[in-house]
Structure 1
Amino acid sequence: MSIPEHHRHWLLELLIWWEGRITPRQLAEHWQVSRQHASSLLQDYLKAHPNSLDYQPSNKDYQPTEHFQPRLLTQDVTEYLEWATRQTLPPRKDNLSQLPHEILQHPPRRATPQIMRPLVQALRENRRLDVGYISLTHPDNQGRIIIPHHFVNNGQRWHLRAWCEKSQGFRDFVLSRFRGEPELLDTSPITPDQDEGWNTQLTLILEPDPRLTPQQKQVLEEDYAMQNGQLKINTRACLANYLLKSLQVHPRILEGEPEAQQLVIVNKDDIKPWLFG
């Protein structure tokens, strides 16, 4: 299997920067090559960037040194999370087969490797985590213990779904609001199976704002490929509010102009228990 050098080095840097370690086994599994071949590719990187990684015999992994500096990364955590959740490739270095296009970019949210590495490890090993966290409700840095189980992209930003011992419930934690360096603790009996909001499936039923003209309604019905004038979307209950927000649907109020509202929720009573506020 021929792996372009740009792809090889990008993945190495991505894992080292955001996870703090890398093993030949990881690379072999991802690239579907032998572990020996993966080790040789790792050595190629070290030849090009000496003193950037240290081998740790006790863990059988490579970790970044103080001299490590990623050269191919944006250093935006979104780049890592999109790879880790979708296995996306790095940006192409050529323009072959690409159509002219532009992608709207949201402002990057602050998340450092020092914060992300313990979060990733705790999630994979089902461990408790002592973290500092701020919010608009509590702008002072509050310590709390959480047990994370999923990273979630709500369309605008990434957050962490986790059990919060302080609140005694599952909550969403915005990645950019963690502070300090999280401390890994022991394993926890809390599992994603206990998250009712995560495991409850809802069907959102939407239709064009009734104040629109028949012609305007038809435009929306065709836009969303509606069936019998309705759009049905399945989602996890705890994500329903984010989905409605991304569609600019206000479940409690109507915009002054129907052209601004466009869609309304039909089964409001079904989702009411899962709305914020």
Structure 2
Amino acid sequence: MSPSSADTLAGLSAAQRQRLAYIDFRLYFLGTVARRDVLQRFGVASAAGTRDLALYAELAPGNARYQRKAFHWQPGFVPLFAHQAGAVLAALTGAPAQQGDAAGAEAGDILPHAVPAPLNLPELDTLATVTRAIQGGQALQLRYHSMKQGAQPREIVPHALVDSGLRWHVRAFDRTRGHFRDLVLTRMENVQPAPGAAGAPAPGERGADDTQWHRTVALRLLPHPAHPHPASVERDFGMTGGHLDVQLRAAVAGHVLRQWQVDCSPDAHLRGPQHRLWLADATPLQGVGSAALAPGYGTLSDGAGVEAV
């Protein structure tokens, strides 16, 4: 940001700076912003929204190109505002914010509190490239660090973000593997839009084609049989009639069960204070790709196991 732009921003009202930060946010992470976006987000008059967009274009002339009644992100984009990865992900997905506000507004603590920090957050440019691709239906080329094969080139078509509770994933069609899968954002580098015709999703590669994403599994969770105080577990999880019924996307069910430390073994043999819940009937997990992540899924206490799906 140039000194003159910084001086101009400093002289604006807090409300107008927030609107400009929102324009900056949408361009960076969604790739486009129109006047209606500003009007819907802040409820301002049409003339005010037009002035905000014109001022943003004046302060950052290389950031956007006006076409088809909207401003579009340009490769020379330099953000006017400092965006924090945790707040950006919260704004994009509705997850609890880890820090600040994605639109640049300052947030103060209401009461003393502690929130566990994520193990790692993706680089902003990587995140922005991925989220623009999701928004615009664009394939990406990148280098991905796999735990099994190390760093290798990949070509993916992303369609959603997934918070596993430990780290952020991208749900995408992996052209290298030929199927939909979860890829960890922090393992990505050199992320670029796929050039030419390769940039357009082929039949079967769009989010609408991801059957695991659109499949819903209904699970009934019970207090773990080994827990000494099942009534306390029932109150802790808001159970009715001694059970908790949840519906999850098949693509993320295993992540959730692992995060909640649900014992998914058929004989409830997992022990420890972390296992307060038990999935008595694992039948709905059949054919669920993420079920391999569920604690104890397909295992028996004698060590015999069923290979995870």
Fold conserved between structures, TM > 0.5:
yes
The answer as to 2:23 corresponding to 1:12 is yes
Worse overlay, 87-96 or 21-30 = 87-96
Shift of 1:157: 2.2
Matched, 1:126 2:137: yes
* 1:188-242 alpha-carbon deviations (Å, 9 max, x no partner): 22333322211211112111121223xx101001111212211111101111111
For the aligned residue pairs, the C-alpha RMSD in angstroms reads: 3.2
Give the TM-score normalised by the residue count of structure 2: 0.72
8 A Cα contact 1:21 1:61, kept in partner: yes
Partner in structure 1 of residue 93 of structure 2: 85
Q: Does 1:266 align with 2:258?
A: no
Match of 1:136 in 2: 147
* Distance in 1 of aligned mates of 2:56 and 2:236: 48
Query: Residues of 1 paired with 2:135 and 2:56: CA distance?
Result: 27
- Structure 1 segments, 4+ long, off by >6 Å, are 64-67
**Alignment partners' CA distance in 1, 2:159 and 2:108:** 38
| 1:57 Cα deviation after fit | 4.8
Match of 1:174 in 2: 184
Matches within 5 A, 1:224-243: 224-243=237-256
CA distance in 2 between counterparts of 1:195 and 1:79 reads: 27
SS at match of 2:231: helix
Q: Which amino acid in structure 1 is aligned with residue 131 of structure 2?
A: V
Residue 117 of structure 2 corresponds to residue 105 of structure 1: yes
Q: 1:174 to 1:102 in 2, by over 3 A?
A: same
Structure-2 separation of matches of 1:67 and 1:166: 30
Give me the TM-score of the superposition, normalised by structure 1: 0.80
Q: Determine the structure 2 residue equivalent to 1:149.
A: 159
- Residues 5, 206 of structure 1: alpha-carbon distance in 2 compared, 3 angstrom cutoff: same
Distance in structure 1 (CA, Å) of the matches to 2:243 and 2:123? 39
Q: Secondary structure at the match of 2:192?
A: strand
Q: Structure 2: how far apart are the matches of 1:65 and 1:131?
A: 17
Work out the CA distance in 2 between the residues paired with 1:239 and 1:53: 39
For 2:72 and 2:214, locate their aligned partners in 1 and report how far apart those are by CA, in whole Å. Answer: 37
User: 1:162: which partner in 2?
Assistant: 172
Deviation at 1:19, TM superposition (A): 4.3
Q: What's the offset of the Cα at 1:181?
A: 2.7
Task: Give 1:15-54 correspondences, 5 Å limit.
Answer: 15-19=26-30, 22-45=33-56, 50=59, 53-54=62-63
- Note the residue ranges of structure 2 that are not aligned, 5 or more in a row: 1-12, 293-307
Q: Which has the higher contact order (CA 8 A, sep 6+)?
A: 1
Q: For 1:218-267, what per-residue CA distance to the aligned partner results, in whole angstroms no more than 9, with x for missing partners?
A: 1001111212211111101111111111111242473333x332111111
Supply the distance in 2 between the matched residues of 1:130 and 1:34 (Cα, whole angstroms).
Answer: 41
Say if 1:242 and 1:62 are closer, same or farther in 2 by CA, change over 3 A.
Answer: closer
